[in-house]
Structure 1
Amino acid sequence: MQNGSPIIIAHRGASGYRPEHTLAAYELAIALGADYIEPDLVSTKDGVLIARHENEISETTDIARHAEFGHLRTTKIIDGESKTGWFTEDFTLTELKTLRAKERIPQVRFQNTAYDRLLEIPTLQEIIDLVKLKSGEINREIGIYPETKHPTYFQSIGLALEPPLLATLTANGYQGANAPVFIQSFEVSNLQDLSTKTHLPLVQLLNNTGKPYDFVVSGDERTYADLVTPSGLEEIAKYARAVGIHKNLLVPRDSSGRLQSPTSLVTDAHAAGLLVHAWTFRNEDCFLPLDFQGNPQGEYELFFSLGVDGVFSDYPDTAAYHATVQ
């Protein structure tokens, strides 16, 4: 699905307009011009893949209102961080279907709270069903861009994400390097393993701080900063088709939030044969650099001028418009 124009990846759906990771958010994203919709995937207790930003769901569901699940509130160490709340892997799909989604950042997107407690947690299969239905209705192929969340953690508790992900994709006809799918991860080893089991395009996510959690576990001393060097990108190209890059790695910000000169990262990644998908674009001033306060359109224009091949956006309509007029 990669063509001359940058692809628009609806980040958790049209999450600027609807609570993230809901069928309503994905459906609206498609209507607003997204090329791909992006579900973050975690597992239920019974091994079903569902879409949530995190496996801890107190921020994105009404779980705290469900007294019948009060005893399941607990504290866990997830990727080295202590988190307290309710975790998807402690619930069956049937139990999770009794919950309803809510807006994750109501202080920023108060208008989205109008949809609180109206929308279910969707499964990967339900998302695929929606994409296929809508693709047929609008006669335009919509892709999916799933992220495996905390893959080392889920592997450690016997709920590995990759086997059911590949099985579900295969069962739905997604096969081969040209399928409208990108599988993404912030970790490295699970993508390397996936590259031996599928020809579907893989995406190495690259943050502007820290290191992949599987590197922490294995004692690998490399950080994300090492992975964005020309030699690091060449290694990524051995197993991945693209890199999903924190936009501050492409155009750094100074301590005041003002943009500095672009780096060579887009050019370096392209030289290694990798597509570049930048994240995350949002319209609100609290997320924008000082240079583009009140002007999210200008930020898109800057990044498209750098030659990125796609953008993750909470507002796919804004992104799609500027992708077509660039």
Structure 2
Amino acid sequence: MKVIVVDDTRINLTLMQHLIKRLDDAEALLFEQSAEALQWCIDNDPDLIVVDYMMPSPDGLEFIERFRAAPEKQDIPVLMVTANNDNEVRYKALDVGANDFLTKPIDNKEFLARARNMLALRRSQKALNDRAAWLAEEVHKATLEIKRGEQETILRLTRAAEFRDPETGAHIQRMALYSQLIARKLGWSAIEQELILASAPMHDVGKVGIPDQILLKPGRLDDQELEIMRKHAQYGHDILHGSQSPLLQMGAIIALTHHEKYDGSGYPNMLKGEDIPQVGRIVAVADVFDALMSERPYKKAWPLEQALDFLKAQRGQHFDPACLDAFFDSWEAINEVRIRLQDRL
């Protein structure tokens, strides 16, 4: 336990150093210059500070006040030593953060008793902090387990959809990463970015409810078939909504809104502009771009420039301009993902 003694009189420092040696597990660090001691105490974590009142600037009161103003220094015990019996000085010392007092000339037994009590308090504080840190780590571990469980559930849901959908797993990875990059450019926090990365793959989970003859049809769908296909957005929402999990909550919103269009011509609810949740507007850009670039039973993959021209042409119509700008502002990273996760033929 580090006991810092601050006094401008050398003999007083020597006396207290000898007394501190009689305490269990305690080491004295001595300072004649209060400014030097203050800086050391701010830069480090003492366990007890014994500071004289009458010193050149900063005196004991200013020392304590400035020390307490430093971050995370509010709980470290401070014992003020003074020859002044004026109660006003003690009141001021209490106001600025002193925990206890000793009056000169120092009584050895009193000093040892007060120092021992304060170090016991400090040990208890440290034990409590260690316990809090341990509990925080255990909560973190438990949270990670819950997240892993959620992610496994999501993975299995998306795989269930993949078994019936000609779209590839690489498509799901790419569009999720595109969505994360767009969200990052739009200023989303790191936690929010992780959330969209994990939940975007659920965007088409509702396709498990679409009949095979429609889902796997090699040609274009007729109007009646298209109407049935479009129900997958609502189906996906119905599968995912109502959960307490933020991950599944976002997944439900994405499933329902990623086919809405900025001009109000999308489905299933013909939402317009910012009435569409931003996460749906983000995924719309990511999903359409990757769908255009991917081969399907009913179409060939588009050339890159043609796909990019289509996105630009749909600015303010299909796509939110802000989300589209974020996509193009992130193009270097998006293109790296596109190349790295190409479909294996």
TM-score range, shorter chain: under 0.3
Between structure 1 and structure 2, the one with the greater Rg is: 2
More strand per residue: 1
**TM-score w.r.t. structure 2 length?**
0.25
Q: Which has the higher helix share?
A: 2
Greater RCO between the two (CA within 8 Å, min separation 6)?
A: 1
TM-score, length of structure 1 as denominator length: 0.26
